Amino acid sequence: MMVQVSNLRTLVLNADMQPLSWAPLSVWSWQQALVAILQDRVTQLKAYEDVRVHSASRPFEVPAVVALKSYRKQRKVSFTRYHVFLRDEFTCQYCGKRFAAKDLTFDHVMPRSRAGGSRWDNIVTSCGPDNHRKGNRTPREAGMRLLRPPFEPTARQLDAAARRLPWVRGDLHQTWMDFLYWGSELDE
φ and ψ of 14, to 5 deg: -75, 175
Strands 9-13 vs 104-108: parallel, antiparallel or unpaired: unpaired
130 vs 55: CA distance, rounded Å:
57
Q: Going residue by residue through the chain (188 aa), what tens digit of pLDDT does each one get?
A: 456 888 899 999 999 888 888 777 789 999 999 999 999 999 999 999 989 999 999 999 999 999 999 999 877 889 999 999 999 999 999 999 999 999 999 999 999 999 999 999 999 999 999 999 999 999 999 999 999 999 999 988 998 898 888 765 556 777 887 887 644 443 44
- What pLDDT, on a 0 to 100 scale, did the predictor assign at position 186? 38
- Which of 106, 183, 111 is closest to 141 using CA atoms? 111
- What pLDDT, on a 0 to 100 scale, did the predictor assign at position 33? 96
- Which of 89, 81, 137 is closest to 105 using CA atoms? 81
53 vs 136: CA distance, rounded Å:
59
- What pLDDT, on a 0 to 100 scale, did the predictor assign at position 170? 57
- What pLDDT, on a 0 to 100 scale, did the predictor assign at position 185? 47
Q: What is the chain's length?
A: 188
- What pLDDT, on a 0 to 100 scale, did the predictor assign at position 73? 87
The pTM of this model reads 0.72
State the Cα angle at 118 between 101 and 87, rounded to 5°: 40
